Amino acid sequence: MTIQLIAARASNNVIGAGANIPWQAKGEQKLFRDITLGGSLIMGRKTYESIGKPLSRRVTIIVTRNPDYEAKGCLIAANLNEALKIAEAENRSIFIAGGGDLYAQALPIADEIHLTTIEVEPIGDILFPDIDLTDYEILREQHFETNLKYTYQHLKRK
C-alpha cells in the first residue's frame, strides 16, 4: 500500500483560513483532479465540508470523531488508521487530501507527496507541516504561471 499526500500550500505553508483556501490558482484544481482520479481520497470532516460533496470517480473517506456523522456517497472512519484500512480494501491509489491535522498524522508514514506550492503568503490558521526536502527524491517538477505562479512537485521518500 502506497500512501500519498496531496496538498496545495502557500509559500508560507498556509493551506487554509478557516474553511476557505486563501487563493485561487487557475489550473491547480485540475491538477488535483488529474492526479487523484480513480483513487481513494482520505480527508478530515472540515475539509470534506469545505468541498461539500464527494468528488466524482473517486472514493471519499471522511475521518471524523463523530460516530453519528453521515455524508451521502462517502465512507466514514474514526481515525487515520481506520481510513487507511478502508482505502486499502478499495484497492485504489490512496491520497491523503487534508486538512492540517491529517497531513501531520500521515506525513511520517507517507511514501509520496504531491505538493503544489503557490507563490503567495496569505494569512491563515491551517498549515501544511514542515517537510525536509532532503528526505525526498523529486520524481517530477513542473512550474505554472496562470493568474498566480505555482510549482508542482511529486516527491518520493528516499
For the domain that residue 71 is a member of, what is the CATH number? 3.40.430.10
Cell numbers at 71, concatenated? 455524508
Question: CA–CA separation, 52 vs 43, rounded Å?
Answer: 12
Instruction: Show the CA angle centred on residue 149, arms to residues 37 and 15, nearest 5°.
Output: 60
* pLDDT, mean of each 10-residue run, the chain (158 residues): 97 94 95 98 96 96 96 98 97 96 97 98 96 95 98 98
Question: Distance of CA 5 to CAs 56, 70, 95, 132, 146, Å?
Answer: 19, 24, 5, 15, 24
Phi-psi region of 49 (alpha: psi -120 to 50; beta: other; left: phi over 0): alpha
Owning domain of residue 116: 3-157
Number of folded domains in the chain?
1
Residue 111 pLDDT:
98
118: left (phi over 0), alpha (psi -120 to 50) or beta: beta
